[in-house]
């Protein structure tokens, strides 16, 4: 064990030292294309069309949308247009879209806004695999007096629907259950879950940050009351999100101020970023069908290639009920962080399901909730593709990762010589 830690430490320090000896790089467009970026569930590159659409609002179009003069009026029209573009992607009405600063803020406005409305009678229902934006918010609300129920998942990451049905749901309930998991890509049956909660008088919020732009969503058909999204997951920049709030849903604001965003999220609007989100939603809608067939095919080729060439490789998550862009694979007896470091040295960016805390590599709460065995849980790697992923990117990963896995397995203390 000690030898293994030492070797990992050496790989890390060597890699850090070589980084420190270099200047901190400023990435130019050419560098971006040199790096194979397969971490799109963490964040995406802003689309050129999106960056272009933002430009006037950093220069001539600087009016405050609340002003009645022409500077304000012009800018307001662009915010209205962006609201329509976001609404169109979700099958919502423009007045049901509230602009926020990010996905985490959208989640918090929904959950905390509901709890403030219900005071100490609030009952929250959530899943064991939510993003910290929902998980930590629900736990904080429970500390403040709300009742909290957490629903588990099975070994493929699917939601325990029978548990949801058995819960005491009522008009004081808000269920907040994610649409697509950020680590495994597994999709939850949001329509069925929302129907169960709503038939007993409760409200339903879904964190759809990873789903929006990747799969079709239609709020006219799926009875959710609130839905969170984040711009930087769908080729808009960081710093803009939105919350869909079905008409007549009652929430209390977290921040008090003026009339903007129905008084639920007051403050002068972040115009350039709102315009960016609108454009990104328009592009996502346009690209959804054609691009996502291509992205799914690339993901499947990567996955099948790795599962067939790397010994001890296993897929985490349901093979079919998944986002088209995500695959999460465990490499038995190897620590995911070591794989990531060696991939990074080969100009490949991916992500692991482990968090390095207090010197130990703890598997993520998602992988743990699925009951993945210890020797696999530590070696989980997430690859997340986007519309910018190419065939050549996948070829490069398939060419180098099996060698990395062999090399690391040879020094693994878990494998008997
Ligand atoms: C499922 C999910 N929810 C919420 C968030 C938070 O979004 P943001 O980074 O915009 O706050 C993320 C980001 O990774 C996510 O994956």
Q: What is the mean pLDDT of residues 95-106?
A: 98
Question: Which ligand 1 atom is nearest residue 104's CA?
Answer: 11
Report the share of the chain in percent with pLDDT over 90.
84
Cβ of residue 366 lying under 6 Å from some atom of ligand 1: no
104 lines ligand 1 (CB under 6 A): yes
Give 134 Cα–ligand 1 centroid separation in angstroms.
9
Mean pLDDT of the chain: 91
The answer, yes or no, to whether any atom of ligand 1 lies below 6 A from the CB of 135, is no
Distance (Å) from CA 248 to ligand 1 centroid: 26
Average pLDDT over residues 15-19: 50
Give 176's strand partners: 126, 205
Residue with CA at minimum distance from ligand 1 atom 16: 182
pLDDT at residue 103 tops 60: yes
**How does pLDDT run across 181-222, given as a tens digit for each residue?**
999 999 999 999 999 999 999 999 999 999 999 999 999 999
Residue 3 has pLDDT above 90, yes or no: no
Render pLDDT for 212-263 as a digit per residue (tens, 0 to 9). 999 999 999 999 999 999 999 999 999 999 999 999 999 999 999 999 999 9
Active site residue 137: no
Name the pLDDT band for 13 (thresholds 50, 70, 90).
very low
Q: Counting atoms of ligand 1 from 1, which one is nearest the CA of 238?
A: 10
Is the per-residue pLDDT at 363 higher than 90? no
Whether 133 is in the pocket of ligand 1, judged by its Cβ within 6 Å, is: yes
Residue to mutate (ligand 1; options 131, 136, 179; most atoms within 8 A of CB): 131
């Amino acid at each position: 064990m000690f030898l293994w830690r030492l070797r990992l430490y050496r790989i890390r320090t060597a890699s850090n030292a070589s980084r420190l000896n270099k200047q901190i790089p400023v990435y130019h467009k050419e560098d971006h294309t040199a790096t194979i970026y397969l971490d799109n569930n963490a964040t995406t590159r802003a689309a050129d069309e999106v960056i272009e659409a933002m430009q006037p609002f950093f220069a001539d179009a600087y009016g405050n949308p609340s002003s009645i003069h022409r500077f304000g009026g012009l800018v307001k029209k662009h915010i209205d247009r962006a609201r329509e573009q976001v609404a169109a992607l979700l099958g919502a009405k423009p007045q049901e879209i509230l602009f926020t600063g990010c996905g985490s803020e959208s989640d918090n406005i929904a959950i905390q806004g509901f709890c403030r409305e219900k005071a100490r009678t609030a009952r929250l229902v959530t899943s064991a695999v939510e993003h910290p934006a929902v998980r930590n918010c629900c736990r904080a609300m429970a500390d403040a007096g709300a009742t909290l129920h957490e629903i588990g998942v099975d070994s493929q990451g699917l939601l325990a629907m029978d548990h949801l049905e058995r819960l005491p749901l009522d008009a004081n309930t808000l269920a907040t259950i994610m649409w697509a998991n950020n680590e495994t890509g597994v999709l939850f049956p949001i329509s069925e879950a929302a129907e169960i909660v709503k038939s007993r008088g409760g409200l339903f919020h879904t964190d759809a940050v990873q789903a929006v732009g990747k799969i079709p969503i239609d709020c006219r058909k799926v009875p959710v009351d609130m839905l969170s999204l984040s711009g930087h997951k769908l080729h808009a920049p960081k710093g803009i999100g939105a919350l869909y709030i079905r008409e007549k849903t009652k929430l209390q604001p977290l921040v008090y101020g003026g009339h903007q965003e129905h008084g639920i999220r007051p403050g002068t609007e972040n115009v350039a970023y709102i315009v960016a989100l609108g454009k990104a939603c328009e592009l996502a809608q346009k690209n959804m069908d054609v691009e996502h067939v291509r992205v799914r095919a690339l993901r499947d080729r990567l996955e099948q290639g790795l599962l067939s060439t790397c010994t001890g490789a296993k897929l985490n998550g349901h093979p079919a009920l998944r986002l088209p862009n995500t695959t999460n694979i465990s490499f038995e007896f190897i620590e995911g962080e070591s794989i990531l470091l060696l991939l990074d040295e080969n100009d490949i960016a991916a992500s692991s399901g482990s968090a390095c805390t207090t010197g130990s590599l703890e598997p993520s709460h998602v992988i743990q909730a699925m009951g993945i065995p210890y020797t696999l849980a530590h070696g989980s790697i997430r690859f997340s593709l986007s519309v910018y992923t190419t065939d050549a990117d996948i070829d490069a990963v398939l060419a180098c990762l099996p060698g990395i896995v062999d090399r690391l397995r040879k020094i693994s203390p878990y494998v008997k010589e």
